[in-house]
Amino acid sequence: MLRAVRTRLKLPSLRCLSSEGVPHTSAPSHQNTSDLPPDADVVVVGGGSIGNSTLYHLGKMGVRAVLLEKDQLTAGTTWHSAGLVWSLRPSDIDTQVIGHTLDLVKEGGEIEKLTGMDCGFNNNGGLFIANNKERLDEYKRLQTLGKYFGIETHVLGPDETKKLYPLMNVDDVYGTLYSPADGCLDPSTYVSALSKAATMVGGRIYTDTSVEGITTEESRGRRRVTGVQTNRGYIRTSKVVNCTGAWAPYLSRMVGVDCPLVPFRHAYVVTENIPGVENMPNVRDHDLSVYLRLQGNGLSIGGYEPHPDMLPQGVAKDFAFGLYELDWDTFAFNVEHCALRVPAINETGIKSTVCGPESFTPDHKPLLGETLDCRGFYQGCGFNSSGIMLAGGSGRELANMVVTGQTSIDMFSYDVNRYHPDCTKDDAWILERSHEAYAKNYAMIFIHDENLAKRDMRTDALHEKLLSKGCVFQQRQGFERPGWFAAGSTDLPIKMPYDWYGAYGNTKHEKYSYRDYLEEDYTFGYPRQFDQIGRESDACRERAALFNMSYFGKFYLTGPDAQAAVDYLCCSNVRKGPGGTVYTNMLNKNGGSETDLTVSHIEPCPLTGYDRFYIAAGGGSSYRDMCHILNVIDEKGFNCTLTDHSADYGMLSLQGPRSRDILEKICDADFSNEAFPFSTHKLVNVAGHEVRAMRLTFVGELGWELHVPTPSLEAVYDAVMAAGEEFGIADAGYRAIDALSSEKGYKHWHEDVRPDTTPLEAGMAWLVNPKLKTDTDFLGRDALLAQKKNGIKQRLVCFKVKSPVPMVTLEAIYRNDQVCGYIRRTAYGYSVGCNVAWGYVENPAGVTLDWLRAGTYKVECMGEVYDAEMTLSAPFDARNLRVKGDYSGANPAI
């Protein structure tokens, strides 16, 4: 087959390739030929698109920054990039990041206005190919999001697609999405203009300058950057930004930090001229896993094959403006699929082949931000072959991180601290997950999809027991948490060793029950387990449910300044005294939410007698939460210590009308309202084991969290389940929590509340108002006071939508037929009988209660528009009766 492909394509003889095969030239250098400065505010390392964008945005902020490049600008991976720019992505954050890139590079854009230079952007449009209805539904979802961001798109049928792209084979095409704003960037022209802009705003660029070491010092228990040693001299600096792409691990090792990326050999080929291809849009065929980029009068063709050539040992340090010989056994997959879409390729010769290194990460998202292990060392790498189109927005946000310590949009999905150290220190996890992310790059995005690579690396004592009950697990920060229970199934959802999707000589698992359960969620309709998740939800509302939430992060904060630290970190009043537990957010300087968690004032430290606080944080972001707390403590100089005890404790949440009855059977404590009020905690004995019980709920029911020493977790679980049997207790997972919390109006961090939204905008004024009335200072206070004075421009509201299909997030919100926002979080509310969706509605003139109530609302889901009932209160139990243990009302939804 390969010989036939090579013959048909008239391939040139293979040889060791240099840069001559690439259709771009290296960027002219706007370098500084003078000696290195003795010091700088910031040193950016790496002269590609990311490094130059960061330098430019730092200069705009008035920062004295220099850029060091060991060779010439673009020498790493930028120079051979295909340069595709797709304006619309299945992520609001990616879409905004790319949007800023387009603002920089478009004709008459920011860079051209400043420099007078063309950025090399060819705005020839983009075409997404759908070979089936579900793929087209996914594109319609993108189109819906695009309406909020002002991105023009058109859904086309096969005939319309053929008119737009006459060379395309549309026999198997179901439909397409055409985006006129898309295009491609010439990397060298782009970086040349960007570097010129950077120098015009004060940046200094030094090529042929290699970094030989980074000096650090220990201060307040943290290592900190103090300078950079180069082949041309030493620069004193407190901040280094690592924009070296596939070479980023080398620089990271200089300061002893992890850099979880894997270089791959990534390739495309450039065809000879194809008559009729001129001015055609770029094409992405996700089902065939290939792309076709306009390249003059020919095409650059490539894709994401299931068996890529990985470089787990890294790329040679001195590799620059070089290429690898193309492996046709690997690349034939892309050639065959591209020829299926544009048959003219079969009769066209190959002008050049391009196979260079690209870095890929375990979740196909970049690595941005300051590392915990070395203050002042920032990552700006791991762009998964998307560095050109992400460079503009990513450089802006990196500059924001360096200068202000925060970002202008929610960059959690890019945050280098989103991974747990147990993952980043596990080479097998990085390799397997990076391969899977590459292989599934063009797969459809389903919100409940899970990885198959490197599972069961972090489990708790209940893992096997819950698996035996049919638990379908989800993985967060490498930790297995219950998703839902396939109750009564004899086919247990056991996770198997990674089969690499059959690549590299591995045999793909033919029978794989866990994969089969996941595939039931590969739909934009209601999945088969919809009713089972409803039964778990009903058990919680009607009887009792036990949730294993042991993946949560658990921390002790203690020391002479512990109280002062939590006062400053938390936006809520945490001065409740020993025995008090407070749900709160921690904010940034702009009042945005950096984390939500609970803080409990517990017994004094037995060794020192100092105040001690127990902090429980959601497991999906707990490591990042810890980084935020430690950084604030460091910056404020608080004399206290935060220690991680996540592995020392499990966490069970017992919720529902019969939860009190169950606990009173097995505990030695009084659980009445008077003896155990809401938002308090105490040490109790459960079946002979000491447990910290907290009266809290995240589902809107009477309930308690049980924080259990890890050796006692299984025994306590067994005792609770045995005591609850007569009351109809059930195991339940996070899919039920999603449904229960959504209809109750409890917020999820990173969905409902984020670093770019404030509690006032999220309808959580109750969280901050009591503290704002005091003189107690806290991080974000000034921003909230200003916002209260000036009013808010956006507000999180709830929509009840009775649609035949579920909401899946990113749906456009209409107020009086005008787009005013998009959906952030959705779940079906089993207790209220409809989809419950939460999203921010915006009004530049200000959002008031009267303005909200005066509108008529609709929500667009995959091209269909549905009436939506807007509510400012929770759809379920808005008066919080059930949380108080009051189940006397006839209608539980009142």
* pLDDT tens-digit series, residues 423-439: 999 999 999 999 999 99
Quick check: 1 pLDDT over 90?
no
457: left (phi over 0), alpha (psi -120 to 50) or beta: alpha
Give how far the C-alpha of residue 428 lies from the chain's centroid of Cα atoms, to the nearest Å: 21
Quick check: 298 pLDDT over 80?
yes
Quick check: 237 pLDDT over 50?
yes
Quick check: 848 pLDDT over 60?
yes
Kindly give the interhelix angle for 622-636 and 562-569, rounded to the nearest 10 degrees.
110
pLDDT value, residue 14: 28
Strand intervals (E) in 843-879 = 857-861, 864-871
865 — pLDDT class (breaks 50, 70, 90): very high
* β-bridge partners, 684: 691
Quick check: 8 pLDDT over 80?
no
Strand ranges across the sheet with 681-686? 681-686, 689-694, 703-709, 649-655, 545-548, 730-732
Helices (H), 657-754: 659-666, 713-724, 734-744
DSSP state of 175: E
* β-bridge partners, 867: 858
Cα separation, 575 vs 767, in Å, equals 14
Quick check: 890 pLDDT over 80?
no
* pLDDT tens-digit series, residues 747-801: 999 999 999 999 999 999 999 999 999 999 999 999 999 999 999 999 999 999 9
2 — pLDDT class (breaks 50, 70, 90): very low
Residue of 101, 100, 104, 88 whose CA lies nearest to 179:
88
Q: Which two tokens stand for residue 627?
A: 């980084």
Given a contact cutoff of 8 angstroms between Cβ atoms, the answer to whether 591 and 756 are in contact is no
Cα separation, 222 vs 864, in Å, equals 53
Give how far the C-alpha of residue 887 lies from the chain's centroid of Cα atoms, to the nearest Å: 39
The helix (H) or strand (E) run that includes residue 784 is helix 781-790
Q: Which of 11-25, 255-269, 874-888 has the lowest mean pLDDT?
A: 11-25
Given a contact cutoff of 8 angstroms between Cβ atoms, the answer to whether 337 and 289 are in contact is yes
| Residue 623 or residue 668, greater confidence | 623
Cα separation, 481 vs 466, in Å, equals 10
Q: What's the rounded mean pLDDT across residues 292-303?
A: 96
* pLDDT tens-digit series, residues 333-344: 999 999 999 999
Query: Residue holding tokens 């460091």?
Result: 634
- Beta strand pairing call for 794-801 and 730-732: unpaired
* pLDDT tens-digit series, residues 346-373: 999 999 999 999 999 999 999 999 999 9
Query: Residue holding tokens 């409940």?
Result: 448
884 — pLDDT class (breaks 50, 70, 90): very high
Taking CA 713 as the corner, what is the angle to CA 709 and CA 714, rounded to the nearest 5 degrees?
155
Given a contact cutoff of 8 angstroms between Cβ atoms, the answer to whether 689 and 708 are in contact is yes
Phi, psi of 273 (to 5 degrees): -60, 140
Phi, psi of 654 (to 5 degrees): -100, 120
- Work out the mean pLDDT of the chain and round it to a whole number: 94
Quick check: 250 pLDDT over 50?
yes
Q: What's the rounded mean pLDDT across residues 832-836?
A: 97
* pLDDT tens-digit series, residues 448-488: 999 999 999 999 999 999 999 999 999 999 999 999 999 88
pLDDT value, residue 22: 64
Residue of 439, 124, 402 whose CA lies nearest to 239:
402
Residue of 247, 310, 293 whose CA lies nearest to 438:
310
Q: What's the whole-model pTM score? A: 0.95
* pLDDT tens-digit series, residues 10-42: 333 323 334 445 665 555 556 566 789 999 999
Query: Residue holding tokens 């999405």?
Result: 177
Q: Which two tokens stand for residue 22?
A: 């690439």
Quick check: 92 pLDDT over 90?
yes
Cα separation, 262 vs 312, in Å, equals 6
500: left (phi over 0), alpha (psi -120 to 50) or beta: left
99 — pLDDT class (breaks 50, 70, 90): very high
Strand ranges across the sheet with 183-185? 84-85, 183-185, 121-122
> What residue type is 835 in one-letter code?
N
